[in-house]
Amino acid sequence: MIKHIACSECFEDHGLRLDAWRLGVEEKANCPNCGDSEGRKLSEKSLEQLAHRFFVWGSLHKYDFGTAPVIQFNQHQETSIDVSPGLRNDIHLFEKLLDVGFFHYSPRLWMVGEIEPLKDLQDERNQRAIIKRIFAEYPTRPLGNSHQLYRIRKSPRSPGSDSEYDSPPIEFASSGRLDDQAFPALYTSEDLDVCLHECRVTAEDDIYLATLQPVNQLKMLDLTVLIKEENVTEFESLDLAMHMLFLAASHAYPITRNISRAAKERGYDGIIYPSYFSLLRLGIMPFQTTYGLSHRRIPQYQDYEQHTAIPNAAIFGHPIADGKLKIKCINRLVLSQVAYDIRFGPVRN
């Protein structure tokens, strides 16, 4: 039988109470800590999960490349963080029931982008050599005519016209992760939810979906693959460098565009790459570690890590007009429900 040691009503911070309610279980018994009978009950394990969700995940700080928590906790240190007055009693409760202390976390430098191949990609003098490595170490993946890709359009002029779902004409082209005005590409996804999210659709939009298929086999560079490197550390890992590159915002686009152009020059039809929203789609904390070691480097976690990359596909040029893709079906989409999964965290980090 699971022993409960606290409940959701034990906490003063409203975000903590809501998270505790989600993690707790209903049990009509008095809480052994506060005596309340209505709160959802928490075991030691679920209380530790709550501490991690709120203080560790809730204190994540994004860097240009990489992400790391500001706060950590363990049983070896005393609490040294400064929290708002409304959170002090809650901190004391965790200290008492889990015998832990909360402290400011100093991440390993690879977690904040100090990875040699990534730094070289940002240096024009060294970038070409790393791009050459990418083509040597990442696989080619064929996309055949049984493969399906999704393309979303918002308020197209002629929803039934195939040309509406091709890459934009040059005069309307923008500069994205793998294309620019002089180098068009058609962005597609294998995941419909990701496709909708990346297109930033709203309830006011008139939304249309094209389901696409390759006419003939397409030669694609697959950058979603977790490459299993030997005899390298996180600081030397090309795999981690690429993982961080595609989780970075628009400041990384000049690098990824150069990779895209190099792929075109080498005869590729396009690139399969991990969606920027992969982790958000799956509800996964980024850059998970054990004792400071990336899970991407630990063999027993690598299959799981591989499945955290949701593949998108960018096909160069205007592939519908060029006869590389055909439209299997066009549908109108109606948003009927939107749901969010959220975490809370402290204001003061």
Residue 281 phi/psi, 5-degree rounding, is -60, -40
Q: Which domain holds residue 197?
A: 111-333
Position 210 in a domain: yes
Same domain, residue pair 102 and 173? no
Which residue, of 61, 77, 107, is where some domain finishes? 107
Position 347 in a domain: no
Same domain, residue pair 201 and 267? yes
Same domain, residue pair 282 and 169? yes
Same domain, residue pair 69 and 101? yes
Same domain, residue pair 147 and 254? yes
Same domain, residue pair 279 and 148? yes
Position 162 in a domain: yes
Which residue, of 107, 125, 154, is where some domain finishes? 107
Position 348 in a domain: no
239-243's contacts with Cβ under 8 Å and 24+ in sequence apart are 239/296, 240/110, 240/115, 240/118, 240/294, 240/296, 240/297, 241/115, 241/116, 241/117, 241/118, 241/121, 241/130, 242/134, 242/138, 243/274, 243/296
Tokens 């989600």 belong to 22
Task: Give the Cβ contact number of residue 275 at 10 Å.
Answer: 22
Same domain, residue pair 38 and 121? no
Same domain, residue pair 288 and 204? yes
Distance separating alpha carbons of residues 241 and 173, to the nearest angstrom? 29
Query: Tens of pLDDT along the chain (349 residues)?
Result: 789 999 999 999 999 999 999 999 999 899 999 999 999 999 999 999 999 999 999 999 999 999 999 999 999 999 999 999 999 999 999 999 999 999 999 999 999 999 999 999 999 999 999 999 999 999 999 999 999 999 999 999 999 999 999 998 776 667 789 999 889 999 999 999 999 999 999 989 999 999 999 999 999 999 999 999 999 999 999 999 999 999 999 999 999 999 999 999 999 999 999 999 998 888 899 999 988 899 999 999 999 999 999 999 999 999 999 999 999 999 999 999 988 899 999 997 6
Position 199 in a domain: yes
Same domain, residue pair 171 and 203? yes
Both tokens of residue 244?
A: 């961080």
Which residue, of 107, 128, 149, is where some domain finishes? 107
Q: Which helix (H) or strand (E) holds 60?
A: strand 60-62
Distance separating alpha carbons of residues 197 and 19, to the nearest angstrom? 25
Residue 171: predicted pLDDT: 67
Position 227 in a domain: yes
Residue 348: predicted pLDDT: 73
Both tokens of residue 323?
A: 């006869």
Position 338 in a domain: no
Position 339 in a domain: no
Same domain, residue pair 154 and 52? no
Same domain, residue pair 58 and 157? no
How many folded domains does the chain comprise? 2
Quick check: 31 and 37 in contact, CB under 8 A?
A: yes
Same domain, residue pair 115 and 193? yes
Dihedral, CA of residue 241, residue 244, residue 250 and residue 252, to nearest 10: -10
Quote the pTM value: 0.92
